[in-house]
Amino acid sequence: MRKPIIAGNWKMNGSRSSIKELLEGIKAGMGDVKSAEVVVCAPAIYMADVSEQLSGSNVAWGGQNLSTEAKGAFTGETSADMLLDFKSEYVIVGHSERRTLYGETDELVAEKFEVARKAGLTPILCIGESLEERESGVTIDVCARQINAVIEKSGVKALAEGVIAYEPIWAIGTGVTATPEQAQETHAAIRKMIAEKDASVAEQVRIQYGGSMNAGNAKELLAMEDIDGGLIGGASLKAEDFLAICTAPA
Ligand code: PGA
């Protein structure tokens, strides 16, 4: 049985005071969260605040990106050890914004997955197709290519040590969500593609859906057989909305 995992991806949003209020709100509502694991992925600069406010709670935290390097002359980067220093447990790798705006390739993302995993962080590997790719019928090929880069680098068993977030790019921040059927179809195809290499990894690995998931549509999406949680952007910035998603899994 895969435990649903709901992760907030705050992106480059928030301030010390708004984050304090958000986390107080989330913590206050966690008693109603019965079956999901809850994570927030914060901007690196706020990791100290987040770790202080969440330590001892049942909300885990993580970064939104990491360097493949351990340390040294890499201005502006954050290492796995720095995330671990603040007790982060998770890190997002290969978010579509990193891939499209910062030129991260499948190979670089696979390397980040490997560095995170080896350091003891749980990587949340984002994959997903653009609208053009969906319309030309290559959705599963794109997802398979992105996952295969990780399998080539780390081996198929490594996938079970991370989480996959299927995020169709056309649904991110647009208010257009994949229908539960559309998302389920792709999630099932991703799981099948992994099962062809290793059935037990396919059975274990959690595949989140991301892309305009919100308080209104979460229940239906999370009810689908192969959707094991959500990666939430906009709706993770308000405690009430985020908690409504965290309490949605049956
Ligand atoms: P969204 O973002 O929920 O605002 O669409 C999701 C994501 O990019 O992880």
Q: Contact 144/103 with Cβ under 8 angstroms?
A: no
**Measured from the CA of 213, which atom of ligand 1 is nearest?**
3
Average pLDDT over residues 172-199: 96
Contact assessment for residue 3 and residue 206, using Cβ atoms and an 8 Å cutoff: yes
Distance 217 CA to ligand 1 centre (A): 13
Catalytic hit among 37, 97, 129, 167: 167
How much distance in Å is there from the Cα of 234 to the middle of ligand 1? 6
* Residue 187 designated active-site: no
Query: In the block, which residue shows the tokens 């780390």?
Result: 154
Q: Which residues contact 156 (CB under 8 A, 6 or more apart)?
A: 194, 197, 198, 201
d(CA 211, CA 233): 8
Options 3.30.420.40, 3.20.20.70, 3.40.50.2300, 3.30.70.1400; CATH for 5-246 is 3.20.20.70
User: Would you say 167 and 96 are in contact if contact means Cβ atoms under 8 Å apart?
Assistant: yes
| Count of residues making up the chain | 250
What single DSSP character describes residue 179? Answer: P
Residue ranges of E strands in the chain: 5-9, 37-41, 59-63, 90-93, 122-127, 163-166, 206-210, 229-232
pLDDT band per the 50, 70, 90 thresholds, residue 4: very high
Q: β-strands 5-9, 37-41: how paired?
A: parallel
Distance of alpha carbon 216 from alpha carbon 117, whole angstroms = 34
Pocket test residue of 172, 176, 238 for ligand 1, highest count of atoms within 8 A of CB: 172
pLDDT at 233 over 80: yes
- Active-site residue 167, yes or no? yes
d(CA 125, CA 158): 12
Nearest CA to ligand 1 atom 6: 233
Which residues form the pocket of ligand 1, taking CB atoms under 6 Å from any ligand atom?
A: 9, 167, 172-173, 210-213, 231-235
> Span 58-78, mean pLDDT?
98
Rounded-to-integer distance, Cα 231 and Cα 209, Å? 6
223 conformational bin, left if phi > 0, alpha if psi -120 to 50, beta if neither: alpha
pLDDT category at 182 given cuts 50, 70, 90 is very high
pLDDT band at 80 (very low <50, low <70, confident <90, very high): very high
pLDDT at res. 221: 98
**What pLDDT, on a 0 to 100 scale, did the predictor assign at position 1?**
83
Q: Is the pTM of this model over 0.95?
A: yes
Closest residue by Cα to atom 2, ligand 1, is: 233
Q: Percent of the chain, pLDDT > 70?
A: 100
Residue 10's pLDDT is 98
Residue 250 confidence (pLDDT) above 80: no
